[in-house]
């Protein structure tokens, strides 16, 4: 995307002039078309398309800076994509210079000035630690001295490689083991070594380097290239600052020495100790903050933003959706029950006659096949008299059930056995009155 003065971006921001340019982006002064408010627009662009990691870093900066909510952290107002997919961040427009520019011009600062400029930095970074965020790239060029209404206000910039940390073991951050992120001269030994468990004490080291440089005019570790800086950082010791600034107060020298301890455990537990020392040497105050991780925020995924602004649905809208789904479910259930009622077969209605209705005649039941002695082996042996057998059958006969397809008649004493056909007698032409069993 070709940026030029007068171009309206996103339908509402008119570009005025370029403020800066780097390998991966540009910063422009712009004015809102409706409110006329002047803002800074940071574009993620360059000669080649930005990688997915660059896009994640860009979005991470906006989210981390917004999560800190501190007056000394540059405010992020909006992040979105323009028509061609370029990511854009809308920030406060700052007029002034960076601490790096001032140190390159003045070389070193009096203790009162250094304390006044760095106390807001300590407060802002301490607040980030309280929210569970590690900046990981603190340096003079990321500390902006803005001129507002004739006074100076310090702003911390570039949370692009910020990381969420936690005391819980095994919780991964936004970068993996072996990644070396930051500016070598301001990196802590564990950060330069690519350790994965970087926490708030890496920022403490960087603040110690910045204080050392602002008060002495030189960094504690110097080198002609990255390799020399890393080698000296991991191998050599740190010259005491009082060897360079003999009249430096003892409390300041001690706190700087603790900040620059190579062992993390020897550094301060948090930045409140540093804030107290700096506040004792200047007249300005700074917002207080708590211990690291006291108010952690949830880790968020840094996926590329959509070109469409996503608005959270109102709670009552979601409730209407659930209510409509419940009504539809009840309607389906009622319709299903009515359909089943129409298609179900009519239940069998038992006859109104009592259970003592007259028995059907044997002829209506049909003739049963003749029964031979082989079918009734019990007839070979003498048994109880016929009257006892009939009484036994009366006791064990099943009762009629209305749901049966055929009504079973009870056995009535004195009536012939309708379930057994007469058996022929051995005498020619004769019939036996009683069955042979």
**pLDDT value of residue 182:** 56
190-200 pLDDT, tens digit per residue, is 888 888 788 99
Cα 116 from chain centroid?
Answer: 40
**Residues paired with residue 148 on neighbouring β-strands, in sequence order:** 151
Q: What is the mean pLDDT of residues 7-32?
A: 89
Helix (H) and strand (E) counts in the chain: 11, 11
Name every residue whose Cβ is closer than 8 Å to that of residue 114 and which is 6 or more positions away in sequence: 211, 214, 215
pLDDT higher than threshold 90 for residue 344? no
Tens of pLDDT, residues 189-245: 988 888 878 899 999 999 999 999 999 999 998 888 888 888 888 888 899 999 999
Q: What is the pLDDT of residues 247-274, one digit of tens each?
A: 999 999 999 999 999 999 999 999 999 9
Predicted pLDDT at 30: 96
Q: What does the pLDDT read at residue 58?
A: 85
User: What H or E segment, with its residue span, contains residue 91?
Assistant: strand 87-92
Instruction: Read off φ and ψ for residue 186, nearest 5 degrees.
Output: -115, 10
* DSSP 8-state assignment for residue 18: E
Rounded to the nearest 5 degrees, what angle is found at the Cα of 396, between the Cα atoms of 392 and 399?
Answer: 140
> What is the share, in percent, of the chain residues with pLDDT greater than 70?
65
CA gap 134, 272 in Å, rounded: 16
CA distance 88 to 53: 16
Active site residue 197: no
Q: What distance in Å separates the CA atoms of residue 71 and residue 127, rounded to the nearest whole number?
A: 11
The reported pLDDT for the residue numbered 249 is 97
Task: Name beta bridge partners: 13.
Answer: 9, 32
Distance CA 234, CA 78 (A): 41
Residue-wise pLDDT for 269-299, tens only, equals 999 999 999 999 998 888 889 889 888 876 5
Give the chain's domains with CATH numbers. 1-93 (3.30.200.20), 95-168+181-306 (1.10.510.10)
Q: What angle do CA 130, 134, 140 make, to 5 degrees?
A: 115
- Is the Cβ–Cβ distance between 47 and 56 less than 8 Å? no
Catalytic residue among 84, 92, 106, 137: 137
Name the most confidently modeled range: 143-152, 335-344, 358-367, 393-402: 143-152
136 confidence band (pLDDT: 50, 70, 90): confident
Q: Is 284 helix (H, G, I), strand (E, B) or coil?
A: coil
CA torsion 169-173-178-180 (nearest 10°) is -130
| 321, pLDDT greater than 50 | yes
Mean pLDDT computed over 126-155 = 91
Question: Is the separation of the CB atoms in 202 and 295 below 8 Å?
Answer: no
> Which residues, in sequence order, are bridge partners of residue 32?
13
Cβ contact 260:205 at 8 Å: yes
Q: Where are the alpha helices (DSSP H) in 290-351?
A: 315-343
In angstroms, the CA 331 to CA 324 distance is 11
- Of the listed ranges 92-101, 259-268, 314-323, 409-418, the one predicted with least confidence: 409-418
Task: Provide the 3-class DSSP secondary structure of residue 311.
Answer: coil
DSSP 294-311: SS-------PPPPSSPP-
Mean pLDDT computed over 51-70: 85
Closest to 155 (Cα-Cα) out of 166, 163, 145, 165: 145
Rounded Cα gap, residues 78 and 59, in angstroms: 11
**Gap between the Cα atoms of 136 and 206, Å rounded:** 8
pLDDT at position 348 is 54
pLDDT digits (tens, 9 = 90+) for 70-113: 999 998 999 998 888 889 999 999 999 999 999 999 999 999 99
Separation CA 214–CA 207 (nearest Å): 10
Residue 258 vs residues 111, 270, 279, 303: alpha-carbon distances, Å: 18, 11, 18, 38
Q: Residue 20 in 3-state DSSP?
A: strand
3-state secondary structure of 139: coil
pLDDT digits (tens, 9 = 90+) for 144-200: 999 988 889 999 998 866 666 543 333 333 343 334 455 788 999 988 888 878 899
Cα separations (Å) of 204 from 11, 116, 176, 307?
42, 18, 21, 38
Length of the chain (residues): 437
């Amino acid at each position: 995307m070709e940026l030029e003065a007068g171009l309206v971006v996103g339908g509402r921001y008119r570009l005025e002039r370029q403020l800066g340019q780097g390998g991966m982006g540009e910063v422009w002064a712009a004015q809102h078309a409706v409110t006329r408010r002047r803002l800074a627009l940071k574009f993620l662009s360059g000669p080649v398309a930005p990688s997915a990691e660059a896009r994640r870093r860009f979005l991470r900066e906006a989210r981390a800076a917004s999560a800190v909510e501190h007056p000394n952290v540059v405010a992020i107002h909006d992040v979105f994509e323009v028509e061609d997919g370029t990511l854009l961040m809308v920030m406060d427009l700052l007029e002034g210079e960076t601490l790096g520019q001032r140190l390159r011009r003045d070389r070193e600062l009096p203790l009162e000035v250094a304390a006044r400029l760095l106390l807001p930095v300590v407060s802002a970074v301490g607040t980030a630690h309280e929210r569970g965020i590690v900046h990981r790239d603190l340096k003079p060029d990321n500390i902006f001295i803005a001129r507002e209404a004739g006074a100076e206000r310090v702003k911390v910039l570039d949370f692009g490689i910020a990381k969420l940390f936690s005391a819980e073991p095994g919780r991964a951050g936004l970068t993996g083991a072996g990644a070396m992120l930051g500016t070598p001269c301001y990196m802590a030994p564990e950060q330069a070594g690519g350790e994965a468990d970087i926490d708030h004490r890496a920022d403490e080291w960087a603040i110690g380097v910045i204080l050392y440089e602002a008060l002495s005019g030189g960094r504690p570790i110097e080198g002609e290239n990255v390799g020399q800086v890393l080698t000296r950082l991991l191998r050599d010791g740190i010259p005491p600052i009082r060897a360079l600034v003999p009249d430096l107060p003892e409390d300041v020298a001690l706190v700087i020495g603790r900040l620059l301890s190579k062992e993390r455990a020897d550094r301060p537990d948090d930045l409140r100790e540093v804030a107290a020392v700096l506040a004792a040497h200047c007249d300005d105050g700074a917002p207080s903050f708590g211990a690291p991780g006291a108010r952690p925020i949830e880790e968020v995924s840094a996926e590329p933003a959509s070109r469409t602004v996503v608005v959270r649905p109102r709670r009552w809208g979601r409730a209407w959706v659930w209510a409509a789904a419940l009504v539809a479910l009840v309607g389906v259930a009622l319709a299903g029950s009515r359909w089943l009622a129409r298609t179900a077969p009519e239940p069998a209605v038992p006859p109104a006659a009592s259970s003592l209705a007259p028995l059907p005649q044997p002829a209506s039941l049909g003739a049963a096949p003749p029964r031979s002695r082989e079918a009734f082996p019990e007839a070979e042996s003498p048994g109880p008299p016929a009257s006892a057998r009939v009484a036994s059958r009366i006791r064990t006969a099943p009762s009629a059930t209305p749901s049966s397809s055929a009504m079973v008649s009870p056995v009535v004493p004195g009536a012939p056995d309708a379930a057994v056909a007469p058996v022929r007698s051995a005498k020619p032409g004769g019939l036996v009155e009683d069955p042979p069993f």
